[in-house]
Amino acid sequence: MKAEYLPGNAITLLEMGGAYFPALLAAIDAAQQEFHLETYIFEADATGHAVAGALCRAAQRGVAVRVMVDGFGAPDFATAYRPLLEAAGVQVLIYRPEIARFRLRRYRLRRLHRKLAVADGRIAFVGGINIIDDLGFEHPETPRYDYAVRIEGPLLTPIHASACRLWGLVAWASFRRRLRQPPAAQAVAETCGTMHAAFLVRDNLRHRRDIEEAYLKAIKGAREEIILANAYFLPGLRFRRALLEAAGRGVRIIVLLQGRVEYALQHYATQSLYGTLLAGGIRIFEYQRSFLHAKVAVVDGTWATVGSSNIDPFSLLLAREANVAVSDPCFAAELRSSLKAEMQAGAHELRHEDWQRTSWLHRLASRMAYSLVRLMVGIAGYGGRL
């Protein structure tokens, strides 16, 4: 489906949890009618406690608070937070609860990966930041590198509608129909700024490829520069071809990827593409300062996207995702400047000759990881897309 860009929005870039969590907590504390929160991870740590406390306070003062977490990404939520939240009056849903955690089933990879919040239909947050401490235990000195955006304006209409629609769908599927009452708030779509923006989702019905198509359109129209930052980067054939074709017509392409091994399978599967990308003129930077969790891009200094969707088969083919695409030179320049500064401070470039000197054992591990990812995606019915 074609992305619909709406004018008149005020969109603020939030870099890492240091900017995101204070803004999110302020929105919860200021909510008067309704607050929606969707997250993949809701960790039982200091950040989780702070957010849960704010949600409880909102519910106790009469706000209709609805929280949805993923059953795989937040496995301890049901015991750590659900009783506390429900006792305060918060409505809670768990998307696809994990019953047999170690059984690989066809639909098990279809997860709720969106990170989205809406306050009173007036303010929304979309991005890649989960409810989890920004400073990981392995690298406490450096925050996890990620982005979100705070949104006001006409874009609230599709964001609010999407949150309400998914809540109703999951409540119905969970046989919790008592949670399906009409929303207390209506989206406020008043002009608040000058930015044109589109809300992009990926689901398994009408919006299966909206995020991927938005990326492909921007890449195919690029004339000068593409910067992609992605935690898990394993694009399919169409995406790889679009990048290589753009590089072939002289577009400068920089891909910022995870340098530290967080999940070995995704890490080594991504590296199986390095040779092809580097040979095609695409520059690869690996982020070493902390864990990279960003899912953002800037094209030609005019188009940008921030969201939850990785460029890999799990996000683009299986999970529920949400991105915001912004067509605005000022916003794109801000995100580009942030990316360039972080690359200079915490990443190093991997050159083609460096990759050619990699050991055969390392390359074999990469090929095996890629084959295993293909097998997993094939079980889900999408093997041909890789």
- Are 369 and 265 contained in the same domain? yes
**Considering the chain, what is the average pLDDT of its residues?**
89
Does one domain contain both 230 and 293? yes
Name the active-site residue from 113, 160, 196, 267. Answer: 113
For residues 333 and 362, which has the higher predicted lDDT (pLDDT)?
333
Is residue 29 among the annotated active site residues?
no
Instruction: Report pLDDT digits (tens) over 214-228.
Output: 999 999 999 999 999
Number of domains in the chain: 2
338: pLDDT strictly greater than 70: yes
Same domain, 29 and 159: yes
Which pLDDT score is estimated for 329?
98
Residue 99's domain comprises 6-179
| 333/316 Cα distance (integer angstroms) | 26
- Under the banding of pLDDT at 50, 70 and 90, the label for residue 119 is very high
Structure confidence at residue 1 (pLDDT): 65
| pLDDT mean over 263-288 | 89
Q: Which of 160, 196, 267, 293 is catalytic?
A: 293
Please report the pLDDT score of residue 139 as a whole number. 53
Q: Are 320 and 203 in contact (CB under 8 A)?
A: yes
Residues 114 and 144 in one domain: yes
Q: Please tell me which residue in 36, 196, 267, 295 is annotated as part of the active site.
A: 295
Evaluate whether residue 185 is within a structural domain: no
Q: Note if 120 is an active site residue.
A: yes
Q: What's the pLDDT tens digit per position in 38-79?
A: 999 999 999 999 999 999 999 999 999 999 999 999 999 999
Residues 239 and 292 reside in one and the same domain = yes
Q: Report if residue 92 sits inside a domain.
A: yes
> From CA 41, how far away is CA 134, in angstroms rounded?
12
Percent of the chain clearing pLDDT 90 (strictly above): 68
**pLDDT confidence of 197, banded at 50, 70, 90?**
very high
User: Torsion-angle region of residue 325: left (phi > 0), alpha (psi -120 to 50) or beta?
Assistant: beta
Same domain, 216 and 327: yes
> DSSP label at 314?
I
> Could you give the CA distance from residue 271 to residue 382 in angstroms, rounded to a whole number?
21
**What pLDDT is attached to residue 207?**
87
The domain that holds 249 is classified in CATH as 3.30.870.10
Same domain, 242 and 152: no
Which of 179, 213, 245 is where one domain is finished?
179
Task: Name the E strands within the chain.
Answer: 6-15, 34-39, 64-70, 91-95, 116-119, 123-127, 147-152, 195-202, 225-230, 252-258, 283-287, 295-299, 303-307, 321-327, 347-350
Q: What is the mean pLDDT of residues 200-207?
A: 87
Q: For residue 260, what pLDDT is reported? A: 83
Cα torsion for 195, 338, 44, 89, to the nearest 10°? -10
Q: Is residue 114 part of a domain?
A: yes
Residues 214 and 257 occupy one common structural domain: yes
Domain annotation covers residue 191: no
Residue 182 has pLDDT above 80, yes or no: no
Q: Which of 82-86, 156-160, 318-322, 331-335 has the lowest mean pLDDT?
A: 318-322
Per-residue pLDDT at 313:
80
Q: Is residue 187 part of a domain?
A: no
Mean pLDDT score, 322-329? 98
State whether 223 and 155 are in the same domain.
no
What confidence tier does 382 reach under pLDDT thresholds 50, 70, 90? low
300 is annotated as an active-site residue: yes
Q: What average pLDDT does range 281-305 have in this prediction?
A: 95
- The count of other CB atoms within 10 Å of the CB of residue 71 is 19
pLDDT computed for residue 312 by the predictor: 87
Q: Check if the beta carbon of residue 223 is closer than 8 Å to that of residue 303.
A: no
Go through 341-370 and write b for each residue having 16 or more CB atoms within 10 A of its CB, e for each that does not: ebbeebbeebebeebeeeeeeebebbeebb
Choice among 49, 139, 207, 300 that is catalytic: 300
Confidence of residue 94 (pLDDT cuts 50, 70, 90): very high
- Of 28-32, 142-146, 177-181, 300-304, where does mean pLDDT reach its minimum? 177-181
As given in the structure block, the two tokens for residue 75 are 């496995």
CA separation, residue 370 to residues 128, 169, 316, 352 (Å): 24, 34, 16, 20
Q: What value does the mean pLDDT take over residues 210-214?
A: 95
Instruction: Mark whether 175 and 205 lie in a shared domain.
Output: no
pLDDT at 29 over 80: yes
> What confidence tens digit (pLDDT) does each residue in 228-240 have?
999 999 998 999 9
217 classed as catalytic: no
188 occurs within a structural domain: no
Assess if residue 369 is contained within a domain: yes
20 and 59 assigned to the same domain: yes
**pLDDT computed for residue 208 by the predictor:** 87
Active-site hit among 36, 115, 160, 196:
115
**Is 2 an annotated catalytic residue?**
no
Confidence of residue 163 (pLDDT cuts 50, 70, 90): very high
Residue 1 belongs to some domain of the structure: no
- Give bridge partners of residue 307 from the DSSP assignment: 323
pLDDT (mean) for 206-211: 90
Instruction: Please report the DSSP string for 66-80 in residue order.
Output: EEEEETTT-TTHHHH
Among this protein's residues, is 115 annotated catalytic?
Answer: yes
pLDDT (mean) for 279-306: 95
Indicate whether 218 and 88 sit together in one domain: no
3-state secondary structure of 366: helix
pTM, 2 dp = 0.92
Q: Please pick, among 70, 120, 134, 312, the residue that the annotation labels catalytic.
A: 120
Is residue 107 pLDDT above 60, yes or no? Answer: no
- Mean pLDDT on 292-296: 95
pLDDT at 242 over 60: yes
